[in-house]
Amino acid sequence: MKEVDLFVIGGGSGGVRAARVAASYGAKVMLAEEHRVGGTCVIRGCVPKKLFVYASRFADEFKGSAGFGWTVQGTSFDWGTLVANKDREIARLEAAYIGNLDRVGVEHVKSRASFNDDRTVCLEASGELVRASNVLIATGSWPHPVDPIPGIEHAISSNEVFELRELPRSIVVQGGGYIAVEFACVFAGFGSSVTLVYRGENILRGFDSDVRLHLKAELERKGIRVLCGAKVTSIAPSDGGYRVGVDGVAPIVADKVLFALGRRPNTGSP
């Protein structure tokens, strides 16, 4: 059985950093990551989201440039190009993370890891057992589970939204936190018809009340339909898209339904 000083479960920012620091002090370190090295921020969070946000702002920039003497003609947007360039940037960052692990001698494996006992970890991809003096659980977060409404299997989360092969012409976003609001703005910027549904009295609970009121008005001015005090109650396939039931209004027809209800620790069973 292989023995190490530190076994790290999870290859996100926290796990990679801990593994690198420990190895730099001479510890024998192994890291297991079942998906891709980089974690939530690099693979399915901050980095791709910022790229989408930046891309969505250009429509307003083109319009605003006329007031400064610019003439911009023939603009068009290609979703596939954006997604491909996003994938290229993520691959570059992942390679950098892996290179940093390699340089300090951290052994990293692509596998889910689970405890065999309090000091023995099983690499589920191969069945290999590893004995560790210390085990660090750095598995990050996962989209918060949603209510088991009819058709919930048709909804996507903030994980899958970055993998869409086509830009949805219309989308319903359930949630009122900053992730939901950002995605609503992103898709509106790309020209999609957006409905934002939130169960609370106003979006961005916990933020300054004046900011919340102002932002809601700005979202509506941008063409985003904001429904507060409401929840998505059902999702049913309909003519290549979905018929979305929402409290208090007529069903909404949309290409995609995104649930962005926050995240929770990713420590449960698969």
Instruction: Say if residues 197 and 167 touch (Cβ distance below 8 Å).
Output: no
pLDDT band at 52 (very low <50, low <70, confident <90, very high): very high
Structure tokens at 254: 């949309």
The answer to whether the beta carbons of residues 250 and 228 sit under 8 Å apart is no
Which domains does the chain show, CATH number per domain? 1-139 (3.50.50.60), 143-264 (3.50.50.60)
Stated pTM of the model: 0.90
In percent, the amount of the chain with pLDDT more than 70 equals 99
The pLDDT confidence band at residue 270, using thresholds 50, 70 and 90, is low
What is the phi-psi region of residue 128: left when phi exceeds 0, alpha when psi lies from -120 to 50, beta otherwise? beta
